[in-house]
Structure 1
């Protein structure tokens, strides 16, 4: 993760995501920065990845649940970038992840 309106991203230890795909099905896990442990599952259709997620916050263990839609884009350097839209507590947010 390189940026998020939901939290400050630590550039030295950002949340990292591992994606798996089988046809339209996508799933994975994530950890780092403000997240102790997270999981997601969903589907991909064209250039949009739609997921449901749950993760535990590092600060106090609170579990956050929700859903998100990510646009798949090409970064300037040829890597894949995901621009994710999601809501937490009714507030809309956007995060950007870039392929390692």
Structure 2
């Protein structure tokens, strides 16, 4: 498996459902950060590190359109589909105790999330 460089990649939930949150990832060495928003999210941030296999370990915080704030930790493991699409299997644990696994996939850069500065409450 090729180890991805995440800088500039755009991710959405698997299947690219309409009105889904979208994340823009950045990488500098082993440092990873992302900004995301859309759908039910005004915006969110993720910060963490990436190991030699491309596995991301990070903490995130997000603000939903209903005003709720969610925070937690996530470990994201990269996979490549047979078609060559990069996916991340995200094992998350929220501060409220919720936990689970979600899958996100790389999508076209035209689907990049809005910047927090462009959001109008």
Q: TM-score, normalised by structure 2?
A: 0.71
1:28 aligned to 2:34? yes
Aligned length: 94
1:94 aligned to 2:105? no
Residue 10 (structure 1) shift: 7.9
> As a proportion of its length, which structure holds more helix?
2
Which structure 2 segments of 5+ residues have no match? 1-11, 108-121
From the CA coordinates, give the structure whose radius of gyration is larger: 2
Q: TM-score, normalised by structure 1?
A: 0.85
Q: Which of 67, 72, 78 does residue 61 from structure 1 map onto?
A: 67
> As a proportion of its length, which structure holds more strand?
1
Q: Which of 6, 10, 13 does residue 2 from structure 1 map onto?
A: 13
Structure 1 runs, 4 residues or longer, greater than 3 Å off: none
Residue 12 (structure 1) shift: 1.3
